[in-house]
């Protein structure tokens, strides 16, 4: 099972939309390209629970499954089904704050590898695990990074996001001491609107950032924003929208470049 973390320390860069779109499209497959659907586990690691809400499994009244996993290091009994074929989910909610406090107080057991141990239990059941992370570096994100094989960084082309990218890469390199296998798969440009400024920022990102940047860009789309109000992915809400088509192209680019490694990561 290949474990992919979608992360950026800045909010509003389409982390959740990227995570759920990638998970959904990997699970669906692509008949035109003769790519079969993969078995995908979508792991909501953000206490806001937007990924969980999108698939109708959010419950704010009790401790969510992701919270139990980080406390116990066990995943059995903490995976929920979705209505999508080949796609299961681990929900999250605001109880994650209490779970993090609890494990920080646990001085007898390792705090950073709970997700790694848990996901190892189901490594033969899925081809991919996509982790949607919050815009911070709490204990739950550190656990995700320690378990991760590959990191995808969604970025908007503004100064704040580009500054945050440098800081994130630095933090990732520090975490690599705990997980040398973690690598940055690439930066994904989101909410792209063509202008002289955005094109200059893109050139800098591709030539000066030191990170691989995916060729596909996710165009700015009102439909993508509207989709969030209906708790749907762009491809479900409006498959013909620019954002939906771009996420399809991005998924295929990802599979072409990295997808063949999924079998290797299952070993």
CATH number of the domain within which 159 lies: 3.40.50.300
Cα 93 → chain centroid = 16
Average pLDDT, integer, range 190-218? 93
Higher model confidence: residue 201 or residue 175?
201
Average pLDDT, integer, range 60-89? 97
User: What is the band of 265 on the pLDDT scale with cuts at 50, 70, 90?
Assistant: very low
Average pLDDT, integer, range 134-158? 94
- Identify the DSSP state of 35: B
pLDDT at 266: 44
Mean of all residue pLDDT scores within the chain: 91
pLDDT tens figures, 159-196: 777 777 888 888 888 888 889 989 999 999 999 999 99
Higher model confidence: residue 266 or residue 238?
238
CA dist 91 and 80 (Å) reads: 8
pLDDT at 42: 98
pLDDT at 260: 55
Residues 132/43, Cβ–Cβ less than 8 Å: yes
CA dist 27 and 21 (Å) reads: 10
The percentage of the chain sitting over the pLDDT mark of 70, rounded to a whole number, equals: 97
Residue 6: C-alpha distances to residues 35, 101, 159, 207 (Å) = 23, 23, 20, 22
* Range from 74-83, 178-187, 223-232 carrying the lowest mean pLDDT: 223-232
Cα 90 → chain centroid = 13
Higher model confidence: residue 255 or residue 158?
255
Residues 152/258, Cβ–Cβ less than 8 Å: no
User: What is the band of 263 on the pLDDT scale with cuts at 50, 70, 90?
Assistant: very low
Higher model confidence: residue 229 or residue 75?
75
pLDDT at 119 over 90: yes
Domain span at residue 150?
2-265
Q: What residues contact residue 241 under an 8 Å CB cut-off, 6+ apart?
A: 221, 223, 224, 234
Higher model confidence: residue 246 or residue 266?
246
CA Rg, the chain, in Å? 17
Predicted structure pTM score: 0.93
Number of separate domains in the chain? 1
CA dist 229 and 236 (Å) reads: 13
Residue with tokens 């400024």: 197
Cα 101 → chain centroid = 23
User: What is the band of 264 on the pLDDT scale with cuts at 50, 70, 90?
Assistant: very low
């Amino acid at each position: 099972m290949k474990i992919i973390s979608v992360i950026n320390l800045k909010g509003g860069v389409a982390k959740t939309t990227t995570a759920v779109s990638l998970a959904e499209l990997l699970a669906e497959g692509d008949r035109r390209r003769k790519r079969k659907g993969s078995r995908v586990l979508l792991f909501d690691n953000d206490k806001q629970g937007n990924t969980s809400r999108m698939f109708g499994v959010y419950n704010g009244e009790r401790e969510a499954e992701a919270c139990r996993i980080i406390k116990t290091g066990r995943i059995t009994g903490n995976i929920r089904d979705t209505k999508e074929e080949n796609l299961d989910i681990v929900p999250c909610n605001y109880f994650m704050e209490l779970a993090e406090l609890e494990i920080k107080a646990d001085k007898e057991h390792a705090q950073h590898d709970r997700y790694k141990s848990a996901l190892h239990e189901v490594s033969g059941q899925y081809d991919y695990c996509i982790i949607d992370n919050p815009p911070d570096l709490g204990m739950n994100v550190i656990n995700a990074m320690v378990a991760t094989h590959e990191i995808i960084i969604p970025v908007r082309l503004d100064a704040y996001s580009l500054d945050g990218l440098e800081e994130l890469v630095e933090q990732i390199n520090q975490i690599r001491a705990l997980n040398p296998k973690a690598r940055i798969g690439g930066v994904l440009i989101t909410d792209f609107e063509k202008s002289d400024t955005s094109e200059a920022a893109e050139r800098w990102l591709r030539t000066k950032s030191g990170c691989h940047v995916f060729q596909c860009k996710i165009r700015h789309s009102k439909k993508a924003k509207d989709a969030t109000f209906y708790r749907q992915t762009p491809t479900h809400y409006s498959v013909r929208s620019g954002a939906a088509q771009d996420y399809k192209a991005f998924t295929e680019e990802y599979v072409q470049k990295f997808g063949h490694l999924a079998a290797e990561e299952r070993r």
